[in-house]
Amino acid sequence: MKTLLLLLLITLSEATIGVFVKLTDGLIPIQTLNFYALACAAAFLMAVMPLATGQSLRFPWGNLKDTIIIGALIAAQISVFNYAMTLVPIANAVIFWSIAPFFVFIFSALFLGETARKSYIVIFAIAMIGIVLAKPLEGGHMLGNLVALGDGAIYAAMVTYMRYEGKSEAGNGIAWSMLVAAMGRPIA
């Protein structure tokens, strides 16, 4: 139950930014949106996680390097995603970003030494066929589609690193990583 609640809190704190990027219609710079989204997400998580976990929020002194790396990856991921959102319809950005699990499959094999199950390989092949059928390199949205695909790779790098980091460290570092990500984004 505790894990589901934490997943819900993290999802709610970050999931709606793409819609707001579209709603602002370029009136607010992406960097400003990123800063406020990440700062609000960090504040929300810092306020609510102690209630959800029953533990006080502690600064990750022993895990500072990982917190900074994950924060930088979060900042890069949200920036690239929001940039893609300015170039393509929401559906395109989400579809091409959704290749992230397949990049995780590749990165986990390369960097974590995990062996792939045959079912993963079949799923990966089907996904690649789907991307080819979606023709990301054709039409008026080629740049945005490629940016969204690149965002999937950045997100996968973040997830893979978090999996690596999670094997040796546990805790509530995501709130601190969100704060690091917000600090890395200029507001104007």
Residue 184 to residue 38: CA distance in whole angstroms? 10
Read off the pLDDT band of 136 (50, 70, 90).
Answer: low
Residues near 43 by Cβ (< 8 Å), separated by ≥ 6? none
pTM of the model as a whole: 0.78
> What are the domain boundaries of the chain?
38-43+64-188
Q: So what's the pLDDT on residue 188? A: 44
User: CB count, 10 Å around CB of 56?
Assistant: 8
pLDDT in tens, 48-93: 888 877 888 888 888 889 989 999 999 999 889 888 888 888 777 8
